[in-house]
Amino acid sequence: MTHETTADAGPVFIGTIREELEAICARYPSRQAALLPGLWIIQRERGWVSPAAMEEIAGLLGCSAAHVKGVVTFYTMYHQHPVGRHFIQVCTTSPCGACGADDVVRTLLEKTGCGELGVTSADGRFTVIEVECLGACGFATPIMINDEFHESVTPARVPTILAQLK
């Protein structure tokens, strides 16, 4: 995942990326159905979904920018702002909460220098958030770093996991 911080990086869907979107559109009887996959492409390319990108995909899929904004704000995984290079989500829902997830959160906030949930560290490397049930309750506490799952994370394992990140 690359993370550009400028909103005016130009259109996303050009060349092969436009072809990728069109191939996805062919899977559905309506172009609008390609919206979630299209937003995933934007986030993969730019690290977040900017207002300019929302307008761009609205035009390509034949829906309004307001509709796209409504969708982006509904789903928690689309970033509406740039985030740290390593976006860390910690499951703290009850089953993980019963197994020490809050201690994992505290340790992550301390060791990454983020200090607070949702705040990006000063060096731009980390953002830590709590996430609702990651669907890996038997492997408490699961955390997700960008697209990578780490299972059975304990406060003691946090420094090792962070040391592996650039």
User: Side chain identity at 103, as an amino acid letter?
Assistant: D
List 16, 74, 160, 163, residue binding another protein (CB under 8 A): 74
Bridge partners of residue 90, in order along the sequence: 130, 143
HSE (side-chain half, CA atoms, 13 Å) at 63: 19
List 28, 80, 81, 115, residue binding another protein (CB under 8 A): 28
Alpha-carbon span 142 to 99, nearest angstrom: 11
Alpha-carbon span 137 to 130, nearest angstrom: 15
Which range of residues in 2-10, 95-103, 105-113, 156-164 is near another protein by CB under 8 A?
Answer: 95-103
The three-class DSSP label of residue 81 is coil
List 1, 18, 20, 40, residue binding another protein (CB under 8 A): 40
List residues binding another protein (CB under 8 A).
27-30, 32-37, 39-40, 61, 63, 67, 70-71, 74-78, 89, 92-95, 97-99, 131-140, 144, 147-149
